Amino acid sequence: MPVAETSTPLGERLRARRRRLGLTIAQVADRAGLSLPYVSNLERGRGNPTLDVLTSLAEVLDLPLAQLVGEDVAAGSIDTSELLLANLPASLDRFSRTQDFLREVEGLAERQHEDFDVLRQRILLGMAAAPRRSAGEPTPSDWRRLLDVYTLILRN
């Protein structure tokens, strides 16, 4: 499927965001744990970054992963939400299977008169795209606090 003319290539989005933040390629590469030539090539539209690389770059550039890859993914055969759900952080995937999470989403779905699976997906996408405060894997308590925030927002 051809990319629409209005679509901005990933490399251009990377460069524009980096410049907007006043960062050098070397700073982005260092913070993302990548080599300078690799990041430079990505900005020039060369290379095929993995999901881990895109996630690291999105964190360094303070962007949700969906925003970083959104147009390119939407132009292809994979939906952004499918990509994110298929690659949830392991700790979020485990948390999303707990009775605590499922019970909370079920209650919200009933109050909102919304389909459980649709709301579950929306909440997981939001949680997966939320900024992280540290480089480590979030704990179940971190995910619980984030779910509490979504619960407060959706109840009002």
The pLDDT tens digits for 18-43 are: 888 888 999 999 999 999 999 999 98
Q: Look at residue 1 and tell me if it is in a domain.
A: no
DSSP for the chain, written as a single string: -PPPTTPPPHHHHHHHHHHHTT--HHHHHHHHT--HHHHHHHHTT-S---HHHHHHHHHHTT--HHHHHHHHHHHSSS-HHHHHHHT--HHHHHHTTSHHHHHHHHHHHHHHT--HHHHHHHHHHHHHHS--SSSSPPPHHHHHHHHHHHHHHHH-
Domain encompassing residue 55:
10-84
Q: Give the CA dihedral 25, 27, 30, 36, nearest 10 degrees.
A: 20
pLDDT for 35? 94
More confident position, 1 or 123: 123
**What single-letter amino acid sits at 131?**
P
Structurally, the chain folds into a number of domains equal to: 2
Is 149 in the same domain as 104? Answer: yes
Is 37 in the same domain as 97? Answer: no
Is 18 in the same domain as 54? Answer: yes
Is 35 in the same domain as 69? Answer: yes
CA distance 44 to 106: 46
Is 37 in the same domain as 77? Answer: yes
Q: Look at residue 4 and tell me if it is in a domain.
A: no
Q: pLDDT exceeding 90 applies to what percent of the chain?
A: 31
Q: Look at residue 2 and tell me if it is in a domain.
A: no
CATH code of residue 57: 1.10.260.40
- Asked if 50 and 32 count as a contact pair (C-beta separation under 8 A), the reply is no
Is 79 in the same domain as 104? Answer: no
pLDDT for 73? 42
State yes or no: pLDDT of 44 exceeds 60: yes
The pLDDT tens digits for 81-118 are: 655 666 678 889 899 999 999 999 999 999 989 999 88
Is 53 in the same domain as 67? Answer: yes
pLDDT for 36? 93
Is 150 in the same domain as 138? Answer: yes
